[in-house]
Structure 1
């Protein structure tokens, strides 16, 4: 949906745009991101369904994040086609459907990461107290509510998109007031508030781990180091991929020209590439997911020695360092 906002705000510039080496290269990069995002998130979802079987609240949320990120990639070829052809060739119904799909999964992905941040803090802050709230069944209910909230968030704007003018753009007044209102709405609900919650949860989580480090033996600190690295990676990746997009979008009213439009195209690509980041982060930082991937891709390999959910059920007094290793 962010690409469509750009088309709306810069439609006059795009009318004179011609496909050149930059446009062709950008289209190829979009398709690479699409394929990588679909493959990576399908791998994560399959690993959770087949190997982990959604045995814990954490993996339920990770599955929903992978589902949202994967579906987010489905609409990308349509966006690439519009950018490359400088027109929307798929009709009015497809315009609304793709916009709803794009916005729904964009917001669900962000909301899911936010819910997972709260879950991580509760898991470490007081695992006994919040154990009954962190069951797979309740996590599925929270996930369903999260999808519904995302739909209600984007539906009023998504249904206003129209392809009658040749581009799939919002059918709204083109004055700066409307544009600023739409951008502020998406920025606050799609970045500012979720990022504030994530940052607060992870800051509190790291403080909790720091206090516990004083009571732990040195050999027990490896999970903490893994978690710290993953926390930093996830938060930085989210901010690095989305903050430039929103910052430049807010500056679009004061800047014009093909150069600015091309910069924005690259930033839109960067925002979509965030959906490829989580599977890579899991593989780089999580021993558990590396075992899951090996078990899925190499059926003859030794199965993972237990799951995070098994650890919780066997000993609820565990501070969930193993569960936390799955995700930051």
Structure 2
């Protein structure tokens, strides 16, 4: 047992605890304080649920990496990989839909109001969960406890099949969502700036504040998503062409796997840092005796709060 293995075990534990705690806090906040009153919080709830469940498989992966062998049998190997894939893709799909939802909410909330009801958001979320089954079904066939490790069986399928599997999971799980997220937020920023320059009615400082808020959100979401997932897919593509890469860079592979899991615990942190609404939610849950939550509805609030689209102005009173 070397220092790297101990350090990685500690990091896995930290990521798992933070991910479960943070996403559980988001889920409780939405169910208790917001009650999924808006389309946005429906998507955030499903994102937090997928991220939280994504953490469940982390201890199995950590134990395998720590002991360099899989000790839970072939059936559990397939089950863990399938559940891991479902939650991974659902999380990415939810974030992608949220980027489109943000565009509709901030650019023209009245025009898209009929599309952004909680009922429709729940239907879309259910479709996302079902759709995530498509890219992970091959995992039940091609993942097994082969050679003492839970991994893709190298004897199953040809090189072209493995390349095809990796390519379509990369496209569905990273490339396409990344393009949609980037395009949605870039268009949103351009539209907001154009509206600010054309409009003489709204105060300039309010428009600039909203633009700065959205810019921070865009940079944070896109950067965190890219940093956490691109190395994982890049390493897998490299290992496909260089068969000894995994053996030669085992430590690097463990790190990029950990980095991909860390994305699921980063999302609640982004809510806390970028959303005044969720900061108030969290404060109300963590310090119930010091703060009370009062809700005053206002149909225009949505235009000034990028994460609270329920149409309510949420005030925390000391």
What TM-score do you get using the length of structure 1 for normalisation?
Answer: 0.86
Contact 2:228–2:263 under 8 Å retained in 1: yes
Contact 1:187 1:246 in 2 (8 A): yes
Deviations 1:60-83 (A, max 9, x none): 000100000010000000011111
Query: Contact 1:127–1:319 (CA<8 Å) still a contact in 2?
Result: no
User: Match for residue 218 of structure 1?
Assistant: 204
- Per-residue displacement from partner, 1:189-209 (whole Å, max 9, x unpaired)? 100001111111001111111
Deviation at 1:160, TM superposition (A): 2.9
**CA positional deviation for 1:175:** 5.2
Cα offset, 1:123, TM superposition: 1.4
2: CA distance, partners of 1:158 / 1:322: 45
Give the counterpart of 1:242 among 211, 229, 236.
229
Alignment of 1:199 with 2:204, yes or no, is no
**Aligned runs of 1:165-204 on 2, under 5 Å?**
165-171=147-153, 172-173=155-156, 176-204=159-187
Establish whether residue 299 from structure 1 lines up as the match of residue 281 from structure 2. no
Distance between the aligned counterparts of 1:275 and 1:321, measured in 2? Answer: 28
Structure 1, unaligned runs of 5 or more: 1-18
| 1:176-235 deviation per Cα after TM superposition (whole angstroms, max 9, x unaligned) | 433322221211110000111111100111111101222231331323322210121011
> Relative to structure 1, is the Cα distance of residues 64 and 257 closer, same or farther in structure 2, using a 3 angstrom cutoff?
closer
Ranked by relative contact order (alpha carbons within 8 Å, sequence separation 6 or more), the top structure is: 1
Give 1:264 deviation, angstroms: 1.6
Aligned to 1:28: 10
- Relative to the length of structure 2, the TM-score reads 0.89
Equivalent position of 1:233 in the other structure: 220
2:86 corresponding residue in structure 1: 104
| Counterpart in the other structure of 1:92 | 74
The CA deviation string for residues 104-128 of structure 1, in whole angstroms up to 9 with x for no partner, is: 0000000000010111111123212
Q: Kindly tell me: are residues 179 and 24 of structure 1, through their superposed partners in 2, closer, same or farther at Cα, counting changes over 3 Å?
A: farther
- State the superposition RMSD in angstroms: 2.0
TM superposition outliers: structure 1 runs of 4+ over 6 Å = none
> Any conservation in 1 of the 2:103–2:188 contact (CA below 8 Å)?
yes
